[in-house]
Each structure stands twice: as C-alpha cells, then as structure tokens.
Chain A
Amino acid sequence: MNKMQHHKLFLLTMVLAVLHAAVIFAGFVAPYDPATQNREFAFAPPTKIHFTNSAGQFTWRPFVRSSKGDEVGHSYREDTSELFPMRFFVHGDRYRIAGMSMSVHLFGVDAPGRVFTLGTDSFGRDVLSRALYGGQISLLAGLVATAITLLIGTFLGGLAGFYGGWLDDAIMRVADLFLALPWLYLLFAIRAFLPLQMEPLQAFLVLVVVIGTVGWARPARLVRGVVLSARERNYVHAARGFGASDGYIVWRHILPGAAGVIVTQAILLIPQYVMAEITLSFLGLGVGEPVPTWGNMLNALMQMSVLQSYWWMIAPALLAIPFFLGYQFLGSLWGEQVARVKP
C-alpha cells in the first residue's frame, strides 16, 4: 500500500468515524427529542442561521429568528423583532447514552426560540434529530445483522471447506438455495408470519435476525474457497504432521488467512444491510412510529405532496449517501490490500 492509499484510507476512516460518532451520540448532537411534536411548526423549513444582524453587521455568534406559519402551518415567515443566539452545550430534552441520563446538547438556542437545522416533518418533529436517532437503528441493524451473517457464514463455510465431502456438498447446496431465494420477498413472507403488533425493540430484533440469517450464503462460499486452498498448504500439512488438532489448525493457520476476506465482506455487507432495513421500514414493515429510522422517515416521501413541497424531508437519504460511499471506498481499498498480501 503506497502513501497515497494510506492517506485515502485514513481520510475515509476519519469521515466514517465522525459520521458514526454523530449517530452513536445522537442524543448529544441532536438538539431535540425525536418524538416531540411541535404542532405549531408542521413542515417548517430549515431555520435560517444568520451571521449578520438587521443593520448588516457581521456577528461572531450566529443567531436564529423565530418564525410563524399561517393558520394551517404553511408559508413560514421570520419574525425580525427577536433574535436567539446559537449556543454550544445547552440544556434541553433528556436523553440516555450508555445508560446515563443527560440533558446537555451540542448546540441549540434559548427557549422559546427553536432551531430546526433540517426543518420539521408533518408533526413538527425536528428532522435533524430524527435523522440522527434514526441512524442509530439503521446502522445498528446493519452492524448486528452483518455480525450474524458472518458468524453463520464463516462457521458453515469453514466447516464445508475444511472437511469437504458430503458435508461440503450439503452445505453448499443449501447455500445455493439461499442465494436463489429472492430475499426481499422472503423477508415479506417471514414478516407476515410474525405478530402484527410488536414493540419497536422487538420489531428491530426480528428484523436484524431475519436480515442476518438469510444472507449467510455468499460469505460462506468465499470462506469455503479460502479454507479449501489453505488446508492443502504445506504449513498446514506440517502442522498436521506434528499432531495438531483440527481446532488448532483452523484457529492458528486457516482463519488468519481468511480474515482479509471476512473483513472485506463485513465492509460490503454493512451498507447492504443498512439498505435492507431502510427498504423494509420504508415499506412499513420495520420499526413503527414514533421511533425514527431512515427507512420509516423516508416513508413520508411516498406521499406525493411531501415529495413535491418539502425537500428537507429527504435528509435521511442525504445522510445515508456518505455512509454508503464511505463503506464502498473502504471496501475496495481493503480488497486491493487483501489481494496484494500473499498468505
């Protein structure tokens, strides 16, 4: 890996780390609680952040103005009589991070001012806060489902590759079957068998387990290939000659060789599974109201009028794009590196 690639990899990792941090610490970064409805601010456009006061002078501390819509909550207009300076580390809605209850937010304005950086939805809920909290569910779904897939895939692929014979045949035929299944329809079918009424957490777990379980076939094939070639190598034969057990050989000699493949798979699977969550929630089969996820937030765009009139409602998609791109680039860089390193 040359210097340029190192630089790229570092930059990408940093971008992804910042995005992940924002989502993980959503409670802190988001100015408001994601479920709080501000009914007098339905579909409020993003709040304008001003750097110059009414006299045209530049101020170091940006500020916002309160705005008011008409009686049905449209055509918002700024009220120039009052201004609310933006502040860091303000106290607001309570939230929990890692079990700790806190109320300090990264930024905000003093009440009764409001700052809706990315506007509000039909119930006047802050879109930025919802997108960040929504990312928690969507990303966690991606990560957990990937972990499940890789665990199953590595175990079955390793088993097939290492022992070969009828076990290999059996596992690989089942894998073929899973690859041939149209996964979206399979998910629909599985969802249809589950009870209709589920708590958001239950629905989330079911979703993750289902997504994770159906995707094991591809990583299993790749791992099988790597294991198959690794077990015929001289150092493996040598270890066997010294009386090493199967477990020792797999752990010490074979899995390290497969690690590159597994990590690359993980990097490619995470965005794919985040997308699966988005798809299911978009179609109303994922986590329900009022818990936000990127998928169920984008669901509002199914209504033509929302798509036409309120561009900020597309925010979750805009947030998801750097995630996907980041993971894709990271994946290809890793892939190159794995290809270069000779086992």
Chain B
Amino acid sequence: MIFSGTTIRRHASWLALLAISVPCRGAAQEISKKPPLEFLRTETPAGISGGRLVVSLSAEPKTFNPIVLADDASKIVVGSLVSDLIHINRSSQLPEPALAKSWSVSPDGRKYTVNLRRGLQFSDGHPLTVDDVLFSFQLYLDEGLHAPQRDLLIINDKPIVVKKAGPETIVFELSKPYGPGVRLFDSFAILPRHLLESKYRKGELGQAWTTAAAPAELAGAGPFRFKQYVPGQKLVLERNPYYWKVDQNNNRLPYLNELVFLFIANQDAASLRFQSGEIDLLSHLTPQNFASLAKHAEARGLRLLDGGASLEWNFLFFNLNDNKNLSHEITRKQAWFSSIAFRQAVASAVDRPGMVRLIYQGKATAIWGPVTPGNKAWLDAALPQPGRSTERARQLLRDAGFSWDRNGALLDSRQQQVQFSIVGASSNPERMSMATMVQEDLRQIGIHVSLVPLEFGALLHRILDTHDYEACILGLGSGDTDPNADSNVWLSNGETHIWNLHRKSPSTPWEAEIDDLMNKQASEPDFEKRKKEFDRVQQLLAANEPLIFLVSPHVLVGVKSKLGNFQPVVMDPVDLWNVDELYWKTK
C-alpha cells in the first residue's frame, strides 16, 4: 500500500515474463573467488546494453529506507535499489523467484521453505547470505520500528517465525495457513546486515538511509544503486554490476547504465519536458496532457499508452483520530465526523460522475469501495452504487439531529454551524478540483467547507504524524491486487489505518468485524471463501464510510518509441516494474 501523490494508470496484457533459474557460467566468471552466482534468466526479448533513462518524479523521495517509507516517490526509487525473495510479476500478477531460487510449502500450509540463490552479492560487492535475510525480517518484525509492512507478517496475532535451516535455506513458520501464499514476500526487501546492524543496535535505524546519506552507506540487491542526490533537482542511480538476472543471451541485466529521476512537481512542466525530449518516460499523465501530447506523438517519436482503470482510489476522509494532543477545534468537530449518518450524508451529496466528466474528461471510473474495476478478481460486484442525492443527505442529517438556520446553513444539535476544512495536495490539480466540487456539493446541504492546498510532504506529515487536519482528500494505490496487501489500512491497529492511527483495539463494532474478517481471509487458502470474506469488508466500508470513495483514474503513460521492452501495467510501479529489462533500441 502506498500513498500516491499523483494519478496512476494500468495497461492490459503483456508477454508473461517467465523466469527460470539457471546457473550461468559465462557471466558468473566476472566474480572470482566467490561461489558462482545462480543467475535468474528472463525470457524477455534481449536488448542492447548502455544508455541512461530519464524519468520524472512528481515529489522528492523522503527516504531510501524500506523500513520507514510510506510515500509514493520513495517507493518508486527504492523499488529500483532493492530486491525481495519472491517477487510478484507485475504483468502476470503471479509470484516468481527473485533472490530465492525455489521454495516449498508444507502440506498443512504453515511452513515455507525458501532456498536462496548461491553467490548473491549486494550492490557494494558484499555477499548476500541467509543472515541478511534473517536480519531483514528481524527489522520488519520489530514493533519499535513501525515498519508499514509489519502487519503482513502478523498472522492470527502472532508474528511469523523466521529460522535458518541450512547455508542457503530459510524456514518461515506461520501460526496459521496464509491466504495469499508466497505473495507475502513481495514487499520485503533484503537489507545488508553489514551496513545496518550497528545502527539498529543503537536504535538509529529510523534515521538511516535518509536522502542525505552517502552512496557508500547504501546497498541493495536491486538492478541499480545510489550514485548522486541533488536536493530539489535530481537523483541519479547507476547500474548495479552485481545484479542477479541475465537475459536470453546470458548478458547481465540491467541494460541501462543510469537511471535518472528528475523532480518535477508540476505535471504540465513534466509534460512539456517530455514533449521536448528531456524526459524519456512519463507516467501519471493528466487526461488533458495525454490528449494534447497524443496530437503530435508520432512525429515526435513518442508513444502514448492508455491502460484503463488503475488500482488507485481517491477518497475523502475525516480525522477520527482519538488523540489527546488534538486541538479543541478538531475534537469539537469530531462529534460530527464520528457520526455514521453525517459521513453517509456527505457521501450521498458528492457528485462522482461529475468528477469523472469534469476532472478526468471521462478517463476515470466512479467508485463506491476500495477495489477498483481494474482489480477484476476481487471487486464486489454486488456493492451498492447509490447515485448523488441531496434529499437523502438532508434526510440523514435531519434524522441525526442536525437542522438548518434561515440562511440554509447546517447546525448541529448544539446549534453550532457545521463547517470544516479539507486539506489536499497542491501538486495534484485533479484532487484539488475534487475538493472544489465537494465544497460546492456540500454547500448545497448547508455545510461550509474551506480548502487548504498543502505541499504533499507537509500533507503526509499532518495526516500521519501530527493529525492536525479536519478532513482530507487523498489517493491510495493498492500495491497488490490481493486484498491482504491493504490490510495495514483496514486493520484497526494497522500502520496506515489512516482515519484513526495507532489504535491498540478497534474503536467501533464494525471496525472489530473488519479486523476479524481481514484476519480470517489472511489465513484462508480457499479463494472463494476469501472472496466472500473480503466482499463483506467492502460492504462494511461502504456502509460506514470511514473513507468516502470517489473515483479511480486510468493509467496513462507516455514513452519514447525507442525504449524497448516497455509496457505499462496496472500494479505499481506501472512504468518501472521491469526497469532491469528496458533498453534503447538505438544509441
């Protein structure tokens, strides 16, 4: 689960990347004295080595530390720096070997035996062993570090037990069978013990691997490694010479020598720089820019790809945090926010089809739950999709003890005028437009709303740390199509239970039921049963509206025609998921 500052789009099918594990002598000779690396060979058409790829990033990464990252930009960057044991192929959406060459599951579904590739090295040349795997999972499981992925490792309230079972073998013991199976391993990057252990012992791990870190302090097993960071301008990654994949011709991947991220907050500016050729690849295009770029695409050597509905969902939510440090003003307003009828009234007053039409020019889909039509396997088709109705909104408010003064302003039961502010990311004009439309929609039922555009980093700080906001419009992009990937949002003690963070126990009966259902589906190997359980979660969310779901935009990407092996997908990262295989057709 990631916070997305921008819009994401998905693309349909793509030649399945079949990965097989073969020892490859030719390339392995580069490394002397080490056991030969058991390479993974991809089946993608072979490309040409060399060149650099320049990509636009809408925000600066906040950190390179996989243990603490929560924002979109950091996630994209870190995705190219690290690798996991078993990886979900973003195109086929199925798990495939990565740092692990093979695995097996015990008959009772509670024990995974994972075999590590032999001869692996981090990007600084240091060997990657079972001890690094054990160390990494120790970090993810450490309660004090608050890793966002930690929830995924807690099954049936018990953390997964990670044990060494041989020089290249690790055993993961689960207290119960795990529904999504080995998909679990996808979001857990293997981290270098030799660089992080001393910091961890000193309790400074949260401050490690910031954007101010020196390149030598960082190492991963991803296709690229950190080279240079220029605050406010760019981030340069260079090819990791120790990467563990080869192409059909046994050439070591990645093909590209450098991967450059330019920080361009404004999408129009990014679009212009893409048009002028300064940027090679631009995802998160606005429908307007997509249309204007498409006009002369062929003449400029650009390809514009529309991938249909994404996994991103935009929503409005209220601050329901139960926190003693909140201002008196916010706690006073929480009396309204915590009323289900109030939230349902707001939900029935908002004009979703209007947002699709006016903001996205039809290139988005209205949603009533967190599963977008892009995720066909898990969407609850029976979820009610009530249309906009100010009458219903008024009825709900009236029944909940609200009234209106003679100017039509909404008053609560203590005769205080109902008004609140909505914060949103100023870098995202679509979401600010949604806020403007919500403002007008709520004016129709007598609620006065003011808008506060904030820089995205400052916005996240308010939502996650200080809780100093009243309502917010945000977007989340599901990291996986499997619902378990979002459990840190739905579980009441989840690290991203965004409307009410850091709960020890559920605050409401329906949150308790969601906790129960999410835990149940997590240990249910049968898809049909899991589907039924998650459908119920979707229904509870739709009925109680902790998040008021609005729209899901389509995946729109622009790329230079000369970039080989490029295909956008629905899962994040929509564009750089196969960055190790991208190449320039001509130099």
Interface positions of A (Cβ within 8 A of B): 35, 37, 39, 42, 71-74, 122-124, 196-200, 284, 288-290, 302-306, 308-309
Contacts and interface: CB of A to CB of B under 8 A. Distances in A.
B251 interface: no
A72 B271 contact: no
Nearest to A39: B354
Please provide the 9 A-B residue pairs with the shortest distance between their CB atoms, ordered closest to farther: A305-B288, A304-B268, A72-B362, A72-B361, A197-B421, A39-B354, A42-B358, A197-B452, A37-B440
Contacts of B453: 284, 288
Dominant secondary structure at the B interface: helix
B429 A39 contact: no
B450 A35 contact: no
B68 to A, nearest CB: 25
B433 interface: yes
A199 B417 CA distance: 14
A199 B272 CA distance: 35
Interface in B331-354: 351, 354
Nearest to A202: B450
A39 B357 contact: yes
A72 B292 contact: no
Interface string B426-439: 10010001011101
Nearest to A200: B450
Given A37-B437, A122-B359, A289-B439, 7 more contacts: A35-B440, A42-B358, A71-B357, A197-B421, A289-B436, A302-B268, A303-B268
B351 A39 contact: yes
20 contacts: A71-B362, A72-B357, A72-B361, A73-B358, A122-B358, A123-B440, A196-B452, A196-B454, A197-B450, A200-B450, A288-B451, A289-B435, A289-B439, A289-B451, A290-B436, A290-B440, A302-B268, A304-B292, A305-B288, A305-B289
Interface string B354-392: 100111011000000000000000000000000000000
A97 B476 CA distance: 45
Given A39-B358, A196-B452, A308-B292, A303 B440 contact: no
Contacts of B272: 304
B443 interface: yes
B265 to A, nearest CB: 12
Interface string B249-288: 0000000000000000010100110000000000000101
Contact of B437 (A123, A200, A302, A309): A123
A29 B313 CA distance: 42
Contacts of B105: none
B271 A304 contact: yes
Contacts of B454: 196
Contacts of B12: none
A191 to B, nearest CB: 13
A39 B292 CA distance: 23
A284 B454 CA distance: 10
A42 B450 CA distance: 22
A220 B549 CA distance: 56
A241 B292 CA distance: 78
Contacts of B357: 39, 42, 71-73
Give the residue among A74, A197, A198, A199 with the most B Cβ atoms within 10 A.
Answer: A197
A42 B353 CA distance: 13
A302 B272 CA distance: 13
B90 to A, nearest CB: 30
Interface residues of B, number: 31
B15 interface: no
Contact of A305 (B286, B359, B436, B437): B286
B333 to A, nearest CB: 12
A123 B288 contact: no
Interface of B: 266, 268, 271-272, 286, 288-289, 291-292, 351, 354, 357-359, 361-362, 421, 426, 429, 433, 435-437, 439-440, 443, 450-454
B149 to A, nearest CB: 32
A313 to B, nearest CB: 13
Contacts of B429: 303
A60 to B, nearest CB: 38
Given A37-B437, A288-B451, A305 B292 contact: yes
A73 B359 CA distance: 10
Given A197-B452, A289-B436, A304 B354 contact: no
A294 to B, nearest CB: 18
A288 B272 CA distance: 27
A42 B361 CA distance: 10
A123 B436 contact: yes
Given A197-B452, A289-B439, A304 B361 contact: no
A73 B363 CA distance: 13
Contacts of B288: 303-306
Given A199-B450, A288-B450, A304-B271, A122 B433 contact: yes
Contacts of A124: 358
B371 to A, nearest CB: 25
A121 B173 CA distance: 59
A304 B358 contact: no
A73 B357 CA distance: 7
Contacts of A302: 266, 268
Contacts of A290: 436, 439-440
A37 B437 CA distance: 8
A306 B271 CA distance: 14
Contacts of A122: 358-359, 433
A203 to B, nearest CB: 9
A304 B289 contact: yes
Give the residue among A71, A288, A302, A309 with the most B Cβ atoms within 10 A.
Answer: A288
B377 to A, nearest CB: 29
A39 B351 CA distance: 10
B525 to A, nearest CB: 44
A289 B453 CA distance: 10
B291 A305 contact: yes
Given A196-B452, A197-B421, A199-B450, A123 B358 contact: yes
A302 B265 CA distance: 13
Contacts of A288: 450-453
Contacts of B292: 304-305, 308-309
A304 B289 CA distance: 8
Give the residue among B291, B361, B429 with the most A Cβ atoms within 10 A.
Answer: B361
A120 to B, nearest CB: 11
Nearest to A43: B358
A228 B534 CA distance: 83
B537 to A, nearest CB: 32
Contacts of A289: 435-436, 439, 451
B178 to A, nearest CB: 44
A73 to B, nearest CB: 6
B284 to A, nearest CB: 15
A74 B361 CA distance: 9
A285 B358 CA distance: 25
B260 to A, nearest CB: 23
Contacts of A71: 357, 362
A315 to B, nearest CB: 19
A35 B450 CA distance: 13
Contacts of B437: 37, 123
Contacts of A305: 268, 286, 288-289, 291-292
Contacts of B362: 71-72
B292 to A, nearest CB: 6
